Structure 1
Amino acid sequence: MIRAQVPVADWVDAAELATDPYPSYQRLRSEAPIAWVPALGRYLVTGYAECHAIECDQKTYTADVGGSGATMKRALGGHPMLRKDDPEHACERSAINPTLRPKAIESVWTEVFTRNATAYLDVLAEQGPDTAELNRDYASPVASQNLIDLLGLPDVDVDSMRRWSHAFIAGAGNLMDDPAIWRRCEDARTEVDALLDELIPFYERNPNESMTSALIHAGLPHEAVAANVKLTITGGMNEPQHMITNMVWALSGHPDQRARVLTDPALWPMVFDETARWLSPIGMYPRQTTREVELGGVTLPAEAAIGVVVGAANRDSGHFDGDPELFDISRPRQPHLAFGSGVHLCAGLWAAKTSVGRIAVPLLYRRFPGLRVDSSRETRWFGWVFRGLTDLPVTWDD
């Protein structure tokens, strides 16, 4: 039996991925949907079918990555549920599921999300249409305060939450082993661990509806609680923040679609879903093979470090109807991988759909119907493991 060798993509440049990964994604999907990338020391998987196959087989493609691929575990100083397979993953995931189910989001958290969005709409208005920056003045603080409330972290301010999340995000994506990034992670871990040393005994005596309390009262050890709180800080602030700015950026560039949704608010869920596909905030996550396996016509060795590039898979023309490089809220509904799949489907999916897609962005346009990107000021993007707008200047008509 002849086994196909994995193509080598020695042309892939990490700096170019961080600046704009989509041209590289197109070339990889076309030339080698599975490729060894020397610059990253891992196999990148960019085809939709191949990424989905990995998600459906946790026995062959483990989330418990080891060696140099374990950047998230190093960043968080622990072993969170996202880097575990079932049954260990299911045990910890089941602890927070009740807090994040649609019924709980509707009955407990919708009012909180609305209050937080309304407060920062006032901050954005105070900045005014000449100086407002959506990430700084609205998206980041709204996402931070929502997460502070969900986790039940009293006396934590939005600046600390943002700093912690950015440090953990940078560490989880630190494939180039930058020592300065690890130092920031260590500082963030020290602060969060000190806070949890006080909160865990408190919530043992005084349970409430927060995620931290739920983790504690599931009987998890202190280390598992701490690792999963830090995991939630990593993704629970950054991705909702980027979804807010991504939705505004997408609609600003497609004024006909913006006009449609402002006329028909029932279209907001489609805007959220299409933005998540087109501009996936989580662009890549790691897996590792447990055995030699054939995938997509090539053979991967055992213990192969894999990057599941969902940011590329979500634009695969072999899966999506129409041109997936285009933003189109009328696109026929098809499954995408922006929130993962299978047992590792994002636990915060319903919280994100509600806090961002039903509340933060619709309220933003209700307050400022003419909101748009201010083309006179610079817009900045960064990242591919986690990708989003770092600066989105906006303006509106007074």
Structure 2
Amino acid sequence: MSQRGTAAHDASETFSGPGDAPVADWVDAGDLSADPYPAYSKLRDQSPVVWVPLVRKFLVTSFDACHTVESDQELYSADVTGATMNRAVGGRPMLRKDGPDHRTARAPINPVLRPRSIREAWAPIFERNARRRLDVMREIGPSAADLNRDYAAPLASQNLIDMLGLHDVTVGDMQRWSHAFIAGIGNVLDDEETWTRSERASTEVSHLLDELIPWYRDHPDASMTSAFANSDLSTADVHANIKLVISGGMNEPQHMITTIVWALDKHPDQKARALGGESLWQDVFDEAARWRSPIGMYPRETTRPCELAGVRLPARAPLGVVVAAANRDPEAFGADAHEFDVQRPKRPHLAFGDGVHLCAGHWAARISIGQIAVPLLYQELPTLRIDRNRPATWEGWVFRGLTQCPVTWA
């Protein structure tokens, strides 16, 4: 283990409580799930760093404070005590490691996820999968189609099945596993039924990998599972990292598709510019990711006493880095940061993290969604729009997206 990991978990240092930090005991779980953004604004106004008893964490909500945390692994460790992610995937994946440990765990899949590899090896597969799902949408018809159920979720699932090289796995399997892992990773309120679901999914995926890992050692190919299987990582690390990929590699692309369509539908002038070629699809993708970040919050832990944004923190303080709040910080993105605007002046956001923990799959998401899935959707169904005669549903705050997204094109 790295020196910073040892410091973060020195048995002589235990979390001593919030001390004199600002406290937000008004935060409500129901309000966060229904619409977290009013609470994020209120938290930022109270202080960039606030102790929230509901989740037993210091929530960090300003852009500058979140960026500071991501920029300093020595002080703010990803190797978090009692991390929900570790329990959900049954091990300690790369996102819960710092420095050399993180680089070692991530190295096997870096070649698979480079932009050139994505464009040459995987983009044709992404387009094939998208066209097949569009055929299914057409069969269901404009009076009953749901963009999440019929296109976004199964497309993201099939793309991930193919990139991982998972044999005899259905779209239904992938969706069930990914949703169970995401629920476990986001289980900050410690719901027992949620743990049961994620542990069941973890067991099923482990049984599959026990067969696939030795097979890929004899039959290597361009898939991520093959890359992991033929690395120097332990079997336990391979299992944990593939389960991590299953969680984020399906959930975030799924929600990006529906978020983009929702955003354009709510802003017809910007939709007209996008469809007319006046705005690059990549700009639409980036602004949607900033505006409604599919990953809302992730944890970090202090390795020693410090001060963050004027708030004194003890050693091993549990932090929630609320990038969904940071991405709407008016100090970073202007007074209209709460608005969707594809012509917003360009500034890096935190939807895919930052620094060494920048999402390994961000190029796969940008290409599969921003350059293929969404543009193709409007190319084939140019009158596609949200169906206001049926209810749409947003859920979550640690991870947030549309779970029902009825559409029509009649």
TM-score (norm 2): 0.95
Is 1:47–2:97 an aligned residue pair? no
2:141 corresponds in structure 1 to 128
Contact 1:171–1:181 (CA under 8 A) maintained in structure 2 = yes
CA offset at residue 387 of structure 1? Answer: 0.4
Is 1:229–2:220 an aligned residue pair? no
Kindly tell me: are residues 109 and 235 of structure 1, through their superposed partners in 2, closer, same or farther at Cα, counting changes over 3 Å?
A: same
Letter in 2 for 1:198: E
CA offset at residue 215 of structure 1? Answer: 1.1
CA offset at residue 321 of structure 1? Answer: 3.3
Contact 1:60–1:290 (CA under 8 A) maintained in structure 2 = yes
Deviations, residues 303-330 of structure 1 (Å, cap 9, x unaligned): 0000000000000000113511000000
Contact 1:321–1:332 (CA under 8 A) maintained in structure 2 = no
1:290 corresponds in structure 2 to 303
Letter in 1 for 2:226: S
1:81 corresponds in structure 2 to 94
- Distance in 1, Cα, partners of 2:278 & 2:402: 25
Contact 1:10–1:38 (CA under 8 A) maintained in structure 2 = yes
1:5 corresponds in structure 2 to 20
CA offset at residue 266 of structure 1? Answer: 5.4
Deviations, residues 63-88 of structure 1 (Å, cap 9, x unaligned): 00003xx1000000000000000110
> Which of the numbers 38, 42, 49 marks the counterpart of 1:23?
38
Contact 2:71–2:355 (CA under 8 A) maintained in structure 1 = yes
> Which of the numbers 116, 122, 125 marks the counterpart of 1:103?
116
Contact 1:321–1:331 (CA under 8 A) maintained in structure 2 = no
Letter in 2 for 1:98: P
Is 1:327–2:340 an aligned residue pair? yes
> Which of the numbers 92, 109, 112 marks the counterpart of 2:125?
112
- SS for the counterpart of 1:381 is strand
1:386 corresponds in structure 2 to 399
- SS for the counterpart of 1:323 is coil
RMSD: 1.1
Pairs within 5 Å for 1:1-398 = 5-67=20-82, 70-264=83-277, 267-397=280-410
Deviations, residues 81-102 of structure 1 (Å, cap 9, x unaligned): 0000011000111111000000
Contact 2:73–2:98 (CA under 8 A) maintained in structure 1 = yes
Letter in 2 for 1:271: V
Letter in 2 for 1:262: L
- Distance in 2, Cα, partners of 1:253 & 1:42: 34
- Distance in 1, Cα, partners of 2:391 & 2:104: 46
Kindly tell me: are residues 112 and 266 of structure 1, through their superposed partners in 2, closer, same or farther at Cα, counting changes over 3 Å?
A: farther
- Distance in 1, Cα, partners of 2:318 & 2:63: 18
- Distance in 2, Cα, partners of 1:322 & 1:212: 45
- SS for the counterpart of 2:112 is helix
- Distance in 2, Cα, partners of 1:15 & 1:310: 20
2:6 corresponds in structure 1 to none
**Count of aligned pairs:** 393
- Distance in 2, Cα, partners of 1:199 & 1:367: 37
- Distance in 1, Cα, partners of 2:56 & 2:30: 15
Identity of aligned residues (%): 61
- Distance in 1, Cα, partners of 2:298 & 2:118: 27
Letter in 2 for 1:170: A
Contact 1:168–1:234 (CA under 8 A) maintained in structure 2 = yes
CA offset at residue 332 of structure 1? Answer: 0.8
Deviations, residues 334-364 of structure 1 (Å, cap 9, x unaligned): 0100000000000000000000000000000
- Distance in 1, Cα, partners of 2:103 & 2:199: 28
- SS for the counterpart of 2:229 is helix
2:13 corresponds in structure 1 to none
- SS for the counterpart of 1:100 is coil
Deviations, residues 92-135 of structure 1 (Å, cap 9, x unaligned): 11111000000100110000100000000001111111000000
2:7 corresponds in structure 1 to none
Letter in 2 for 1:276: A
Contact 2:259–2:292 (CA under 8 A) maintained in structure 1 = yes
- Distance in 1, Cα, partners of 2:278 & 2:79: 41
- SS for the counterpart of 1:73 is helix
Contact 2:273–2:279 (CA under 8 A) maintained in structure 1 = no
- Distance in 1, Cα, partners of 2:34 & 2:328: 18
2:15 corresponds in structure 1 to none
Kindly tell me: are residues 118 and 265 of structure 1, through their superposed partners in 2, closer, same or farther at Cα, counting changes over 3 Å?
A: farther
- Distance in 2, Cα, partners of 1:8 & 1:328: 33
Contact 1:374–1:393 (CA under 8 A) maintained in structure 2 = yes
Letter in 2 for 1:7: P
Contact 2:298–2:322 (CA under 8 A) maintained in structure 1 = yes
Contact 1:204–1:213 (CA under 8 A) maintained in structure 2 = yes
- Distance in 2, Cα, partners of 1:215 & 1:322: 45
